[in-house]
Chains A and B, each alone.
Chain A
């Protein structure tokens, strides 16, 4: 028997021993450390089911950080006992919550997952093994319907029992099979924690999850990290009947991505990314996962000589749920005393601009703008009612929709997904319902007898939304 034959025989023996031990459950955990699972929640029913399966099928000790995807996301804590290792975070407007969750990670392996994913038995150890097989493997994905490239596999199962049966048959036949890939875009990714030290977090300028993940994987590859696709694990994914927020890649966001990575803009959609020659790309700057939420300036305007100021005034809702606010008051006209003074509002302002003549309104605005420190400027008028979460919603829309201008159109439509409407041509909009970024030449301000208006510059991304304030 040659030496080569001996090696083959020994390998076979070892493989048989491994299979035997694995079969009786003596091995199968490639790491004794906890794994942190960051779960991005989009649908309460999906999230409950997804977490139940994580608890059922994860062979390792896990810690789940559950991140709600919107302000309206209901609590699902009641479906789980307090002993379960789940942290339900609250929604925070104006910040990438995934990056925030990254900050808290202490475990060597992390899974980033959407609630549409339904994991299968042995999913977690299968995803960890490639990292132990090869030191440079940094991000690992299972086969799933959510991958766009190599790992895409659409399988139909009638029931969870069928899915588990498939996974249990599929796994031993392909055990240990994985291959290097150039791109991952799916909804379930395992990665090494140390990657965050080198690459940082998601690019907050990108909006769709798919592009965020693609960008993150490309940055990892630039630092010689390898991406692996596990062929021995399949996870099932749910699909929404209607497109969800952040699902569609917007053209301006795609252009941003293309200019970042030197891709032809016409190569839309995302297929061209996997063919990108990474050696031709320049090193992208580290993106810190430490971000402060948006700082916002609220200009509280009380103006005389508007016809509608004869109507009863609302107390300005200065008690906003959003905390990072600079308050600047603007008083236009002859006021005997500070309006709403009994509320103590005017004393709590960071600054106050006062002009006696109504015609000086523009100068008053200009003066206020010089004091603005926030990234976003919101206008609140004394003769309109605003809810206490008004500013939170402004920030949320501004951030989520990558908007330059957001306008509240004032009609209360409960379906939040359906609210965003981007007009083809910018129109004059009531200033009292407007917020815009602090950018050069954002637009112009005009005044009529009844209303102050804002006309956004044509090229800006203006988003109209319809909740958060009650029209008088």
Chain B
């Protein structure tokens, strides 16, 4: 298997160097930009200049992309697989843009890894195929032969290795997600025994139990965390902690309770209207809609999508589309919109402006600037505020250019 690495700020800042030795079916590993000679030997990688990279056939390569600013260039090269390694926003970058395009990168990637547990958990609630690339276990879970030595793998390295191996074979790798949740869950549950009054530890234990579908066990940890937050005067915990109990109730199928809990955690009129709408759905037996909406309101888009996908009503498709928009699955949004307009389902249609803006973003990320600008200019004829998308696009292009220039200069 051939791999091509696209670092954000050059090889020096690349924080997953050891992982490169542990890539499964490792054949050739190229790094775009300059790599020190010693590192080339130590990590068994070769550097390649930007120009030479563009002359290669990337359909044979699995790309490892560490910056959202590479997305446009990599997309247009049609790699075999795309692995996204998500990083926190660097200090010198615009956080809003970095985060948005990192989401787009994650949505387009075949598999996603990150060393940040915060990003990891956020992503676990958004999509499948997310792996944590950090951990605390001192134990050895496997080994990989690398040159004349055998490298030992810890838990997250072994899970990542297994997931990538499955991906390379074209097999499903979701089972390794649950294995990682089990390990993280055990870690935090054990830690709660040592620190029973630590709000964050209890919250994390509850989150992993929830991800594993064990809400009946998770509730106790969440309540404990909520109590600690209240005791320490964190007043926003009704929304951040208490509301989570509604998602847990929805997971075990107690939708009455889920709505009741959610209703306690909201204040605004719009949110109260949502409660009334969900009660109405429940009365009319639209249980799955309630369930999905409770998940969405708790920002668990992944569960919401899983619940809605098998449904085939215009209401469910409309909700599904909202979830796709929230998780930046723009291609899926357009697909649903097209299906909706073909079947003349009014509810599942998206506003023309939104549709054009999404289409414009997709064109831009696939390096089709003319089509992108046309789509957005068309949107501005309906809604002038769409113009700000043009400026966002040019900012993105500018950041991407800056990164490419620094790489080109290095090599």
Measured CB to CB, the residues of A under 8 A from B are: 45, 49, 145, 154-161, 163, 236-242
By beta carbon, the residue of chain A nearest B140 is A238
Residues on the A chain within 8 Å of B159, using CB: 241
Measured in the bound complex, the distance between the Cα atoms of B410 and A424 in whole Å is 65
Which of B106-114, B144-152, B394-402 has 4 or more CB atoms under 8 Å from chain A? Answer: B144-152
Residues on the B chain within 8 Å of A45, using CB: 142-143
Tell me which of B149, B150, B152, B162 contacts A241 (CB under 8 A).
B162
A159 & B151 in contact (Cβ 8 Å cutoff): yes
Residues on the A chain within 8 Å of B143, using CB: 45, 49, 160, 238
User: Could you list 17 further interchain pairs (A-B, Cβ under 8 angstroms) beyond the known A155-B138, A238-B140, A238-B141?
Assistant: A45-B142, A45-B143, A49-B150, A145-B140, A154-B138, A156-B138, A156-B154, A158-B18, A158-B151, A159-B149, A159-B150, A159-B151, A239-B139, A239-B140, A239-B141, A241-B159, A241-B176
Residues on the A chain within 8 Å of B141, using CB: 238-241
Residues on the B chain within 8 Å of A237, using CB: 140
Counted as pairs of residues, one from A and one from B, with CB atoms less than 8 Å apart, the total is: 52
Max chain A CB contacts within 10 Å: which of B143, B155, B183? B143
Residue count of chain B within 8 Å CB distance of chain A: 21
| Contact A145:B139 (CB < 8 A) given known A160-B149, A160-B150 | yes
Measured in the bound complex, the distance between the Cα atoms of B148 and A161 in whole Å is 9
Shortest B166–chain A CB gap in Å is 13
Residues on the B chain within 8 Å of A160, using CB: 143, 149-152
B158 on the interface (CB 8 Å rule)? yes
B149 & A154 in contact (Cβ 8 Å cutoff): no
Residues on the B chain within 8 Å of A241, using CB: 141, 155, 158-159, 162, 176, 179, 183
- Which residues of chain B in 153-209 are interfacial with respect to chain A, using CB atoms and an 8 Å cutoff? 154-155, 158-159, 162, 176, 179, 182-183
Shortest B308–chain A CB gap in Å is 28
Residues on the B chain within 8 Å of A238, using CB: 140-143
Residues on the B chain within 8 Å of A156, using CB: 138-140, 152, 154
Shortest B177–chain A CB gap in Å is 12
B152 & A157 in contact (Cβ 8 Å cutoff): yes
Shortest B97–chain A CB gap in Å is 37
| Contact A159:B152 (CB < 8 A) given known A145-B139, A237-B140 | yes
By beta carbon, the residue of chain A nearest B178 is A242
| Contact A154:B152 (CB < 8 A) given known A241-B162, A242-B179 | no
Residues on the B chain within 8 Å of A154, using CB: 138-139
Residues on the A chain within 8 Å of B176, using CB: 241
Measured in the bound complex, the distance between the Cα atoms of B141 and A396 in whole Å is 28
Residues on the B chain within 8 Å of A158, using CB: 18, 151-152
Residues on the A chain within 8 Å of B138, using CB: 154-156
Max chain A CB contacts within 10 Å: which of B140, B149, B183? B140
Show 12 A/B contacts (Cβ-Cβ < 8 Å), sorted by A. A45-B143, A49-B150, A158-B151, A159-B150, A159-B151, A160-B143, A160-B150, A163-B152, A236-B152, A238-B140, A238-B143, A241-B141
- Which residues of chain B in 123-148 are interfacial with respect to chain A, using CB atoms and an 8 Å cutoff? 138-143, 146
Measured in the bound complex, the distance between the Cα atoms of B176 and A160 in whole Å is 25
By beta carbon, the residue of chain B nearest A243 is B182
Measured in the bound complex, the distance between the Cα atoms of B152 and A154 in whole Å is 14
9 smallest CB-CB distances across A and B, nearest first, come from A160-B150, A156-B138, A239-B139, A154-B138, A159-B149, A159-B151, A161-B149, A241-B179, A239-B141
Residues on the B chain within 8 Å of A49, using CB: 143, 150
Shortest B21–chain A CB gap in Å is 9
Measured in the bound complex, the distance between the Cα atoms of B136 and A80 in whole Å is 36
Measured in the bound complex, the distance between the Cα atoms of B152 and A163 in whole Å is 10
Residues on the B chain within 8 Å of A157, using CB: 140, 152
Measured in the bound complex, the distance between the Cα atoms of B139 and A237 in whole Å is 8
Shortest A186–chain B CB gap in Å is 14
Residues on the A chain within 8 Å of B149, using CB: 159-161
Residues on the A chain within 8 Å of B140, using CB: 145, 156-157, 236-239
Residues on the B chain within 8 Å of A159, using CB: 146, 149-152
Residue interface mask B326-349, A partner, CB < 8 A = 1:
000000000000000000000000
Measured in the bound complex, the distance between the Cα atoms of B183 and A242 in whole Å is 9
Measured in the bound complex, the distance between the Cα atoms of B135 and A156 in whole Å is 13
By beta carbon, the residue of chain A nearest B151 is A159
Residues on the B chain within 8 Å of A240, using CB: 141
Measured in the bound complex, the distance between the Cα atoms of B142 and A238 in whole Å is 6
Measured in the bound complex, the distance between the Cα atoms of B152 and A156 in whole Å is 9
By beta carbon, the residue of chain B nearest A155 is B138
